[in-house]
Amino acid sequence: MRRLKLLMLWNLNFSGSLNFLSSELGYLYWGKYPFTCLPSSFQAYLVELILPRSNIVQLWKGTKVLPNLTHIDLSHSKNLIKMPNFKEIPNLESLALEGCIKLVKIDPSIEILYLGGNNFVILPSNIKELSKLRRLNLQHCKQLKYLPELPSNNALPTRRTTYLRIVAEFNIFDCPSLIDVECCYIMAFSWMIQFLQMHMQSEIPIEQITIVIPKTEIPMWLDKQNVGSSISMDPSPIMDDKNWIGVVCCLTFVALDNPTTLSKEQPSACREEFIGYYMTYLTEVLHDISCIELRAIVRQPLGLHLEAKNCGYRWIFKEDLEQLNSQIYNGNSSVQPYY
């Protein structure tokens, strides 16, 4: 099968060793891959490498030239210690490492990073070197106490990615050990402002920003607020306004233990309050709309029950970018803005 282009394997038992994989492979999905690395001779036209719950310790040694590879998923590979050098994988966009509890180092060329469910107390220090990073998901990192510096001087892609939408994300849901929650808020929104500014300068703008962080109240800079999970949005301020660039929507919710959905292996989660932000950009000016209803749909994760408390929104205009920074930090003078 030297010309094999697609290989999908799962729920199979293997013994012995693996010495060869087709160099024509474009898509490799192998659930519970049983070996500690890929064959040393492996060199392919890979686009996606999906090895969830594998026995991988290190993908490969040295450098592999894989110019077409865009997505790697090694989620729940509990023996994974380090990632290889991605210098010769220039188009890598997404790296899923959820549940890789022994991982100690991450390559700095990543744009999308999923680290949820890991045992980090503090993230690897080279996170701040990920200058292309635009999505960071840390949900369910139960032991995470400290956040390192997030990357600055982020750059948007210069080309369209394989995703249909270009989005930014910062998610630290269900991290009950975090010590400085207020610092998380400052850090998250400083990062958001960077993306807002880049959005105005880029030919390929980010279409959506999502943030989930621990916090109990909607900040005052979101000037339209309501109790519950829905709110009526008045579009009259943006009608035919060419300076309008988007809208920020916000929801505060409480995470409670839900014994009816807890599995035997999953420990009880602590009661915690969170705030979720969603910002989207629209490229056309609205006409003749009298009212918009914003309603949040809360999906219930395993072992938790989420209850919506309050919601709010704010229309964002070009001139807001000059004022938004000071409004976000208002009342937090003891914490310096992060850039």
Greatest Cα pair distance in the chain: 69
Average pLDDT over the chain reads 77
Closest CA to 154 of 207, 124, 106, 196: 196
Domain boundaries, the chain: 164-173+183-339
Q: What is the mean pLDDT of residues 206-228?
A: 84
Give the model's confidence band at 285: pLDDT under 50 very low, under 70 low, under 90 confident, else very high.
very low
Q: Is 326 exposed, middle or buried (0-12, 13-18, 19+ CB in 10 A)?
A: exposed
Is residue 31 within 8 A of residue 9, CB to CB? The reply is: yes
Binning pLDDT at 50, 70 and 90, where does residue 267 land?
very low
**Per-residue pLDDT, 56:** 94
pTM above 0.95, yes or no: no
Q: Using one digit for the tens of pLDDT, what is the confidence trace for 136-191?
A: 899 888 899 988 777 775 555 545 544 445 778 889 888 888 888 878 878 887 77
Which of 263-267, 290-294, 312-316 is modeled with the greatest confidence? 312-316
